[in-house]
Structure 1
Amino acid sequence: MSDDRVPVVLVTGASAGIGREAAAAFAEAGMTVVLAARNEERGHRAAEEIRAGGGKAQFFRCDVTEPEDVRELFARITVTYGRLDYAFNNAGVPGDGRLVDVSEEDFDRAFSVNTRGLWLCLREELRLMAEQGHGSIVNNTSVHGLRTVFPGIGAYVASKHAAVALTRVAALEHARDGVRVNALAPGPIETEMLAASEAAVGGATTWRGLIPSGEIGTPRQVADVAMWLFSPASSYVNGQTIGVDGGFLAV
């Protein structure tokens, strides 16, 4: 069992990008971090780096599209720590291709990870947090979940809209259980996923022309807002999707 004074936070999709940087930021803030991802090598390395820096972290392999993996993850969290204070549901994949061209496999993959995988994790988090009587969940969605920014990524856009809807429903259903559920809607963030989108939708080059500040965000900027949503400072914020986007959604 963990020290009751140290918050325990789960980060999915923690082996790279926003998830990896968020896990490091949470550890720096004094939290015990549970990293979960499919890539074992990168996941273990991320946890080792946090521990080498003096933080508390442990990696558990989990494919969020597999119900048994998700159940096993939460069983291990319960046995190891006895509770879960916060969760950052960050696992996600792109979904490139115009709707008339995208394959059934790619369309299903986007929803399997970005929507169904989110729900599978939410289900376990909500059960555990409702039982313990407290908790704060932050789902990492996208500005694409609030606005159709440009064509060519229809499966991704649709899956992120669904993720926003799941956030609202979960918040409504568990508001009286001491559990808050909110979402972040990042704009362009310096990650491998953004770099990979250059060919399909122009990546950072296109985004700089759309963001009022003209700047690309960093994973740490996303993590900082997640930490605020975890904290008592946001205790009256529930069911919201907050843009972390340099002002894009204000245009």
Structure 2
Amino acid sequence: MTVADDAGRPVPPGPAGRVVVVTGGSTGIGRAAALAFAEAGMRVVLASRRAEQGEDAAAEIKEAGGEAQFLACDVTDPEQVRELFATVRSTYGAVHHAFNNAGVPGDGRLVDLTPEQFDATFAVNTRGLWLCMREELRTMAAQGFGSIVNNTSVHGLRTVFPGIGAYVTSKHAAIALTRIGALEHARDGVRVNAVAPGPIETEMLAASEAAVGGATTWRGLIPSGVIGTPRQVADVVLWLFSEASGYVNGQVVAVDGGFLAV
């Protein structure tokens, strides 16, 4: 059966030509994912608060022969999120895939956090994720087709370190959003899954050195002792978008070098 979007246009059978939105697409895992999606022939929309880096990421994709554009968006602002997806729909007529990657750290012991610090972490990692998912699910359900991947963390599956309580809690909530989204829209032709990265070579990992020991501590916890790369996460997300994972829904795939097996 040929799948069509809400305007009656057939959805390409493979990734080439499909439209994907990447939040937090200016750096780290989001940027690597955007590049991987473009290499697969997808039309990429990068969204981020970091305009200069986002424009640079889009330019890098274009220089490599891919199709990309950058749209500034703060995922904590409902109107900006609504406008982001309205622009994508008006430009491309569809949103086939979304990688909800935007996230922030949340350092500090629970007893030391202020309400403002706790709320700031949840505003991006949980509420911002929900705001994006709300637009994505509405659009994809109307199309009768779509796949969403949320970037969570092994911290959402196992409490690894003390001292990052707001982050850990927000990632548990992100996994819950993934599962309820999958349940509510499975009959609409929409799949919702998540990746749960372990230690990955990013700015966030480098910044965690002072609080929890960063890569130094992680190397002692990973069976191989090797820190992962953003591209390794991106490749798993691309698989979750593909027909090869067509019967995978509501799942959290760890990309952690075997950490959760220990």
**Common fold: TM-score over 0.5:** yes
Q: For residue 49 of structure 1, what is the aligned residue in structure 2?
A: 60
Match of 2:119 in 1: 108
**What letter matches 1:225 in structure 2?**
V
Q: Which runs of 5+ in 2 are unaligned?
A: 1-6
Whole-angstrom distance in 1 between the partners of 2:239 and 2:124: 25
In 1, Cα distance between the equivalents of 2:78 and 2:111? 30
Q: Which residue of 1 aligns with 2:198?
A: 187
Partner of 1:145: 156
Q: TM-score, normalised by structure 1?
A: 0.98
RMSD across aligned positions (CA)? 1.3
Deviations 1:140-183 (CA, angstroms, capped at 9, x unpaired): 00000011001000000000000000000000000000000000
Quote the Cα distance in structure 2 between the aligned partners of 1:213 and 1:237.
27
Q: Quick check: 1:99 aligned with 2:110?
A: yes
1:171 to 173, 179, 182: 182
SS of equivalent residue, structure 1 residue 242: strand
Q: What per-residue deviation string (whole Å, max 9, x for no partner) do you get for residues 171-226 of structure 1?
A: 00000000000000000000000000000000000000001111100000000000
Match of 2:140 in 1: 129
Residue 203 of structure 1 corresponds to which residue in structure 2? 214
User: Structure 1 residue 4: deviation in Å?
Assistant: 5.8
How far apart are residue 62 of structure 1 and its match? 0.3
Aligned residue among 45, 55, 78 for 1:34: 45
Q: 1:40 to 1:3 in 2, by over 3 A?
A: farther
Structure 1 runs of 4+ with >3 Å offset? 1-5
Aligned counterpart, 2:256:
245
CA 34–3 in structure 1, closer or farther in 2 if over 3 Å, else same: farther
Displacement after TM superposition at 1:3 (Å): 9.9
Aligned counterparts of 1:185 and 1:118: Cα–Cα separation in 2:
15
CA displacement 1:100-129 (0-9 Å, x = unmatched): 112222111110000000000000000000
Deviations 1:30-52 (A, max 9, x none): 10000000011111111011001
**In 2: Cα distance, 1:139 partner to 1:4 partner:** 22
SS at match of 2:136: helix
- Amino acid paired to 2:122: F
Report the secondary structure of 1:227's partner residue: helix
Q: How many residues align?
A: 251
Partner of 1:8: 19
Q: For 1:229 and 1:183, locate their aligned partners in 2 and report how far apart those are by CA, in whole Å.
A: 9
Percent of aligned pairs with the same amino acid: 76
Shift of 1:137: 0.3
Aligned-partner SS, 1:148? coil
Change (3 A) 1:9 1:190: same
